[in-house]
């Protein structure tokens, strides 16, 4: 038998086949159902979902045949994928392409073959759904229609696998990029700390050494240097905090969320007192989470509620918790300046600020840290807001008892939790 020629799209076809990540995978009901139905409807002893690999045809599903694969050069399917229409061989002993094929002259003694190509959405034929008989015969029009319909189902399954495979790959690439970015942020901010500290301390020394000897203009310039270095130090510290919130090992335990709030309020007590803000804390449940990250989350959210208070009224801040369909939604609500609707998604991105430094001090990293903390708890964070009236930052926590056990176990075997 002359081996089938390679299809003109062979390289792209093979890429598509590999993207399906299906070769050498265990049998699956969804494909086995199709071959069984095909054999029953076409009244043949054998039906296959055959995928044409580099040098073999491999059977994802084989009804009525033991062999898991055969060489590509003897594969009827390698011929079938060359055509746009089903390949029908009524009697293999009379077809020049198959008359001396080992599968015809020897077991399983193929006589009849009908194969419908399995095509991807972009047209690459990866293999066939075929039916095989050991006596010469034909298919009725109805049987060929049924076989074609089943082949479409098999093609859809392959296409789904291919898309899922690509998504998995893209996900893995994104995670890798994120890890590299985190690494870069960590290293860059860590390495910047040392020269910055020097800049700050030598500027202070310089001021001490020459205090009073400098003309006012030069004193002002020195102040600018100290001020800029201070801001940069804050930025570097915030960047480090952002990187730590994604890298540090999660310590997931059952914890009273109220304790996180109290720790956060203690850290902010001076600002709360001096601003005259009023804070109400609703009863909060026990949750599974990382105390450090959740405390930092509340500290950032309440800190922002104090910072972005409305100029005409003292801040009124409510730490909220409500149950909806059995799930908790937590929040920090304020009566501050609010956020325009078009920015409510953007404010969680690193460095996104809605005001200039002259209006409000900040680095634009606080909410990015909050989002990272919540993502690590497999929850969601968002804000509902009305400009001039106030904002309600809300979040869910997705970790539960089983998950925290699993994390604890994985932490025992790894230095950090993924
Ligand atoms: P920063 O406060 O350092 O600028 P954040 O990441 O904490 O950075 O916040 C990002 C932006 O979101 C802020 O610059 C501000 O414009 C807006 N924002 C955050 N919290 C509030 C709030 N409670 N009310 C109004 N605007 C807010």
Q: Is the CB of 362 under 6 A from ligand 1?
A: yes
- Residue 71 in any domain: the answer is yes
- Residue 216 in any domain: the answer is no
Q: Which atom of ligand 1 is nearest to the CA of 332?
A: 23
Q: How many CB atoms lie within 10 A of CB 404?
A: 19
- Residue 304 in any domain: the answer is yes
What distance in Å separates the CA atoms of residue 323 and residue 370, rounded to the nearest whole number?
21
- Residue 192 in any domain: the answer is no
Instruction: Please say whether the beta carbons of 354 and 367 come within 8 A.
Output: no
256 and 397 inside one domain: yes
- Chain-centre distance of CA 75, in angstroms? 40
Q: What is the mean pLDDT of the chain?
A: 90
pLDDT for 411? 45
- Residue 226 in any domain: the answer is no
Report the percentage of the chain scoring pLDDT > 70.
Answer: 95
Of 126, 142, 160, the domain-final residue: 160
Q: What value does the mean pLDDT take over residues 91-102?
A: 90
Q: Is the CB of 350 under 6 A from ligand 1?
A: no
Is it the case that residue 188 has pLDDT exceeding 90? no
188 CA distance to ligand 1 centroid (A)? Answer: 24
256 and 155 inside one domain: no
Q: What value does the mean pLDDT take over residues 91-97?
A: 92
Q: Hey, whose CA ends up nearest to atom 20 of ligand 1?
A: 304
pLDDT for 414? 40
Measured CA distances, 181 to 9, 185, 376 (Å): 38, 6, 17
Q: Which atom of ligand 1 is nearest to the CA of 238?
A: 3
Evaluate the CA torsion angle 196, 202, 208, 214 in order and state its sign. negative
288 and 405 inside one domain: yes
276 and 132 inside one domain: no
- Residue 412 in any domain: the answer is yes
Q: What value does the mean pLDDT take over residues 26-51?
A: 97
What distance in Å separates the CA atoms of residue 287 and residue 255, rounded to the nearest whole number?
5
353 CA distance to ligand 1 centroid (A)? Answer: 6
pLDDT for 410? 46
Q: Which atom of ligand 1 is nearest to the CA of 368?
A: 6
Of 234, 237, 241, 308, best ligand 1 pocket probe by most atoms within 8 Å of the beta carbon: 308
H/E run at residue 279: strand 278-281
Of 347, 368, 374, best ligand 1 pocket probe by most atoms within 8 Å of the beta carbon: 347
Q: What value does the mean pLDDT take over residues 317-331?
A: 94
- The CATH number of the domain where 132 resides is what? 3.30.450.40
155 and 24 inside one domain: yes
Q: Which atom of ligand 1 is nearest to the CA of 367?
A: 6
- Residue 131 in any domain: the answer is yes
Bridge partners, 129 (sequence order): 49, 116
Q: What value does the mean pLDDT take over residues 75-96?
A: 94
The tokens for 341 are 């609707």
178 CA distance to ligand 1 centroid (A)? Answer: 23
What distance in Å separates the CA atoms of residue 51 and residue 127, rounded to the nearest whole number?
4
pLDDT for 222? 85
144 and 267 inside one domain: no
79 CA distance to ligand 1 centroid (A)? Answer: 64
* Strands (E) located in 75-135: 87-89, 112-119, 125-133
388 CA distance to ligand 1 centroid (A)? Answer: 14
Q: What value does the mean pLDDT take over residues 289-297?
A: 95
302 and 413 inside one domain: yes
385 and 257 inside one domain: yes
366 and 264 inside one domain: yes
Of 339, 356, 370, best ligand 1 pocket probe by most atoms within 8 Å of the beta carbon: 339
pLDDT for 226? 86
- DSSP letters for 83-114: SSS-EEES-GGG-TTTTT-HHHHSTT---EEE
The tokens for 165 are 């495979």
Is it the case that residue 98 has pLDDT exceeding 90? no
Is it the case that residue 61 has pLDDT exceeding 80? yes
Evaluate the CA torsion angle 358, 361, 367, 368 in order and state its sign. positive
Q: Is the CB of 334 under 6 A from ligand 1?
A: yes
Tell the burial category of 304 from Cβ atoms under 10 Å away from its Cβ (0-12, 13-18, 19+).
Answer: buried
Which letter does DSSP use for residue 326 in this model? T
Q: What value does the mean pLDDT take over residues 381-394?
A: 97
252 and 151 inside one domain: no
- Residue 116 in any domain: the answer is yes
21 and 142 inside one domain: yes
What distance in Å separates the CA atoms of residue 91 and residue 111, rounded to the nearest whole number?
5
- The CATH number of the domain where 413 resides is what? 3.30.565.10
Q: What value does the mean pLDDT take over residues 294-322?
A: 97
Q: Is the CB of 339 under 6 A from ligand 1?
A: yes
Number of domains in the chain: 2
Q: Hey, whose CA ends up nearest to atom 23 of ligand 1?
A: 305
Q: Phi/psi of residue 62, each to 5°?
A: -135, 115
Q: Is the CB of 363 under 6 A from ligand 1?
A: yes
pLDDT for 215? 83
Q: What value does the mean pLDDT take over residues 60-78?
A: 93
Is it the case that residue 395 has pLDDT exceeding 90? yes
For residue 375, give its domain range. Answer: 248-418
260 and 402 inside one domain: yes
Is it the case that residue 308 has pLDDT exceeding 50? yes
- Which has the higher per-residue pLDDT, 196 or 284? 284
The tokens for 232 are 């940069």
Of 141, 160, 179, the domain-final residue: 160
Q: Which of 69-83, 216-230, 379-393 has the lowest mean pLDDT?
A: 216-230
What distance in Å separates the CA atoms of residue 291 and residue 259, rounded to the nearest whole number?
9
In this structure, are strands 327-333 and 316-324 parallel, antiparallel, or unpaired? Answer: antiparallel
Q: How many CB atoms lie within 10 A of CB 15?
A: 11
Q: Is the CB of 364 under 6 A from ligand 1?
A: yes
Q: Is the CB of 367 under 6 A from ligand 1?
A: yes
Q: Is the CB of 199 under 6 A from ligand 1?
A: no
pLDDT digit string (tens) for 332-355? 999 999 999 999 999 999 889 998
The pLDDT-based confidence of 145 (bands split at 50, 70, 90) is very high
Of 102, 129, 160, the domain-final residue: 160
């Amino acid at each position: 038998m002359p081996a089938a020629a390679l299809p003109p799209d062979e390289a792209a076809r093979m890429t598509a086949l590999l993207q399906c990540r299906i070769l050498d995978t265990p049998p699956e009901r969804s494909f086995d159902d199709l071959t069984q139905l095909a054999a029953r409807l076409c009244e043949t002893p054998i039906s296959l979902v055959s995928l044409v690999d580099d040098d073999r045809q491999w059977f994802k599903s084989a009804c009525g045949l033991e062999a898991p694969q055969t060489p590509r050069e003897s594969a009827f399917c390698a011929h079938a994928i060359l055509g746009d229409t089903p390949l029908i061989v009524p009697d293999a002993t009379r077809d020049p392409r198959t008359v001396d094929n080992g599968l015809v002259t020897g077991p399983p003694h193929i006589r009849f073959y009908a194969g419908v190509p399995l095509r991807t959405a972009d047209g690459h034929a990866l293999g066939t759904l075929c039916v095989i008989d050991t006596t010469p015969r034909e298919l009725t029009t109805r049987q060929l229609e049924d076989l074609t319909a089943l082949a479409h189902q098999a093609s859809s399954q392959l296409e789904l696998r291919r898309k899922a495979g690509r998504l998995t790959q893209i996900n893995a690439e994104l995670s890798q990029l994120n890890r590299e970015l985190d690494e870069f942020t960590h290293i860059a901010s860590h390495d910047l700390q040392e020269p910055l500290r020097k800049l700050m301390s030598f500027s202070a020394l310089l001021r001490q050494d020459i205090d009073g000897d400098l003309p006012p203009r030069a004193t002002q310039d020195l102040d600018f240097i100290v001020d800029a270095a201070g801001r940069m130090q804050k930025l570097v510290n915030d960047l480090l905090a952002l990187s730590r919130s994604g890298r540090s090992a999660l310590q997931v335990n059952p914890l009273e969320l109220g304790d996180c709030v109290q720790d956060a309020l203690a850290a902010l007590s001076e600002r709360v007192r001096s601003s005259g803000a009023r804070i109400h804390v609703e009863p909060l449940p026990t949750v599974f989470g990382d105390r450090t990250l959740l405390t930092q989350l509340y500290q950032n959210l309440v800190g922002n509620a104090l910072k972005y208070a409305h100029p005409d009224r003292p801040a009124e801040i409510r730490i909220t918790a409500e149950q909806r369909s059995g799930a908790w939604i937590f929040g920090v609500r304020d009566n501050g300046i609010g956020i325009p609707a078009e920015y409510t998604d953007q404010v969680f991105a690193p460095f996104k600020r809605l005001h200039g430094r002259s209006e409000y001090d900040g680095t634009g990293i606080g909410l990015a840290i909050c989002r990272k903390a919540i993502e690590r708890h497999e929850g969601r964070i968002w804000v509902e807001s009305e400009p001039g009236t106030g904002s309600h930052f809300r979040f869910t926590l997705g970790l539960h008892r089983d998950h925290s056990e699993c994390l604890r176990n994985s932490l025992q075997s790894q230095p950090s939790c993924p």
